[in-house]
Structure 1
């Protein structure tokens, strides 16, 4: 046996493989800072590949700043997303990450694009919940050229994003369609869809999946209207009232977005709460109460903490700080009914 077969990997070997200086490798492995994110990622990647004799999991690397940019938390989902990243930051404390949440200045494309560019000036990664618009897509594409981007809850294809994290929205819509058709029964009836934003790919996919199942399996169910709440929970009650005035025979409501409590208030005011099949998304304290009251029949659940955790894992994997994580797969669709509610902590 030659001596080289027994020689341990050195800083010199890692420096050559990563095409950086020995001092850069030393700074990364000893947590001295002052190294760009790209060079740090390369050093950690080749240090692991070459199996340097060092506990890389304990390397005190520089802090990674993750910018999370989304709409203001007027609805429980966005509140829970924010809380999810706060918990994820604590869970990955040893990996030295900072989750910085920023809210859009406004709802229009120029405001969203401006907020994205400002929030990522000193960031190492971006997690974004936004709708598709040429101006927004262009801003995300520009950002993705320099840092990894994760599209959360609704995808942003064509932006160069690293990954999409969230449920398979088309599958979620199909599940909602199956539930609606079976709850209404063979006689069928008129269905109202309330969506958040047509521009949000996730909402469009949910509606598409919902409609496809009704058309294929429940032809006696007819979607009579799709109304847009613009993700403003306070408007959903008015939308329901107006829709029932136009179509008094509505027998089912499918909400692809936020504002289920407003829909419930509208159904109560119209004395339709016990006569209308109601299927929505996102399990929270409000939807739990509506399930227990028998007003909301089923909820397609998302888990913001799991989503936040997966976003952080993908970013750490990109920077070779968590290489054991496998490639991302969409989260499974979960259905909450009154009879399978988890106990309250």
Structure 2
């Protein structure tokens, strides 16, 4: 059986080929009744558009923009490297990635950069940022201009974002809770939680999942209020020093976000390495070495390469108004310990 063509759609819907082309490419000037007739014909015929061929025929290219915080986080740098590598592979399919950094302490600057993006120049945006009122408004304005946006690594569920690309942060937090409780089996005392910022959705969800498990399954472990460092190693060292000085019963430390280097430096300088169970997130060069050295007990990770490739695939699909393969884009939560470390890339 031959595949249906646009000629078959035009004949089935009783319209011209030009009208079918306008509907397929979402161009203006077609009545709603006619659009419905064309879409009904597509459904009856089981027509599946070959987007690669269509884009090649009209020489369409895709310029995507990815906005990441300008920090010294190794995970952010690992993600940036993965996006650059994925973009190099996608260049053959006319996809270009413009990777940009923004100052994480000023959401107004990020909002201004989002406002400067034009649908004539940009086919889609990937954004890793906290969900603040300023950013919510900026995303709504971006979407109103017809530019699709995906949330990257940390979700933005209360905005008009088109898709979230990353692991389930609530499930990742629950996983961290199970690991902390089992590594601390037989112990009782305090567990410290350290985060860059509790404005980040992934930090909020991880902490919520962690608390659920700890309260339900490990009541002898008391999780203290989150220490927020705002990405400052000095703030982490100062706050951690104060907590350890006033809480002699600390048995575990949960790193909700980044800060592994500052934490290890503080524990090393104070002769406290391997005194606590330490659970963290994301496999980076430092967390890899910390696992090898025994300074970190387990890492809950996601594959940055999958994250980057999925970003470009989803943005292409959104630009083409094409469906997304949810199975292909679902990222798995990976638990990494010293004994199952993957080869160093």
The TM-score bracket by the shorter chain reads 0.7 to 0.9
Q: Kindly state the Cα deviation for residue 93 of structure 1 after the two structures are TM-superposed.
A: 2.1
Match of 2:147, SS state, is coil
Question: Is residue 292–residue 338 contact of structure 1 (8 Å, CA) maintained in 2?
Answer: yes
Question: Is residue 196–residue 258 contact of structure 1 (8 Å, CA) maintained in 2?
Answer: yes
Measured in 2, the distance between the counterparts of 1:229 and 1:79 equals 19
Q: Kindly state the Cα deviation for residue 83 of structure 1 after the two structures are TM-superposed.
A: 1.2
Match of 1:319, SS state, is helix
The Cα offsets for residues 173-194 of structure 1, whole Å up to 9 and x where unpaired, read as 0110111111111222211000
State whether structure 2 residue 76 is matched by structure 1 residue 78.
yes
1:57-96 to 2 correspondences below 5 Å: 59-60=56-57, 61-96=59-94
Q: Which moved more, 1:110-119 or 1:267-276?
A: 110-119
Residue 39 to residue 76, structure 1, CA distance change in 2 (3 Å): farther
Q: Which moved more, 1:109-118 or 1:52-61?
A: 52-61
TM-score normalised by structure 2 residue count: 0.83
Question: Is residue 15–residue 22 contact of structure 1 (8 Å, CA) maintained in 2?
Answer: no
Question: Is residue 6–residue 20 contact of structure 2 (8 Å, CA) maintained in 1?
Answer: no
Partner of 2:132: 133
The Cα offsets for residues 7-55 of structure 1, whole Å up to 9 and x where unpaired, read as 97357966997x99849959xx9xxxxxxx8549x9xx97x96468998
Question: Is residue 279–residue 298 contact of structure 1 (8 Å, CA) maintained in 2?
Answer: yes
Measured in 2, the distance between the counterparts of 1:6 and 1:125 equals 34
Unaligned runs of 5+ in 2: 31-38
Partner of 1:101: 99
Residue 147 to residue 214, structure 1, CA distance change in 2 (3 Å): same
Residue 180 to residue 304, structure 1, CA distance change in 2 (3 Å): same
Measured in 1, the distance between the counterparts of 2:50 and 2:202 equals 46
Match of 2:87, SS state, is helix
Measured in 1, the distance between the counterparts of 2:51 and 2:69 equals 43
Q: Kindly state the Cα deviation for residue 293 of structure 1 after the two structures are TM-superposed.
A: 0.8
Partner of 1:124: 123
Partner of 1:34: none
Measured in 2, the distance between the counterparts of 1:6 and 1:98 equals 34
State whether structure 2 residue 101 is matched by structure 1 residue 110.
no
1:246-325 to 2 correspondences below 5 Å: 246-320=246-320, 325=325
Question: Is residue 132–residue 156 contact of structure 1 (8 Å, CA) maintained in 2?
Answer: yes
Measured in 1, the distance between the counterparts of 2:3 and 2:284 equals 57
Question: Is residue 302–residue 334 contact of structure 1 (8 Å, CA) maintained in 2?
Answer: yes
Residue 9 to residue 270, structure 1, CA distance change in 2 (3 Å): same
Question: Is residue 67–residue 127 contact of structure 1 (8 Å, CA) maintained in 2?
Answer: yes
Residue 269 to residue 337, structure 1, CA distance change in 2 (3 Å): same
Measured in 2, the distance between the counterparts of 1:202 and 1:174 equals 12
Question: Is residue 297–residue 337 contact of structure 2 (8 Å, CA) maintained in 1?
Answer: yes
Match of 1:70, SS state, is strand
Unaligned runs of 5+ in 1: 30-36
TM-score normalised by structure 1 residue count: 0.83
Q: Kindly state the Cα deviation for residue 308 of structure 1 after the two structures are TM-superposed.
A: 1.2
Measured in 1, the distance between the counterparts of 2:344 and 2:138 equals 42
Paired residue total: 329
The Cα offsets for residues 113-147 of structure 1, whole Å up to 9 and x where unpaired, read as 11222245631111101111111111111112311
Measured in 1, the distance between the counterparts of 2:244 and 2:285 equals 27
Measured in 1, the distance between the counterparts of 2:68 and 2:322 equals 25
Question: Is residue 69–residue 102 contact of structure 1 (8 Å, CA) maintained in 2?
Answer: yes
Measured in 2, the distance between the counterparts of 1:243 and 1:20 equals 73
Measured in 1, the distance between the counterparts of 2:204 and 2:314 equals 26
Q: Once superposed, what is the RMSD of the aligned Cα atoms? A: 3.5
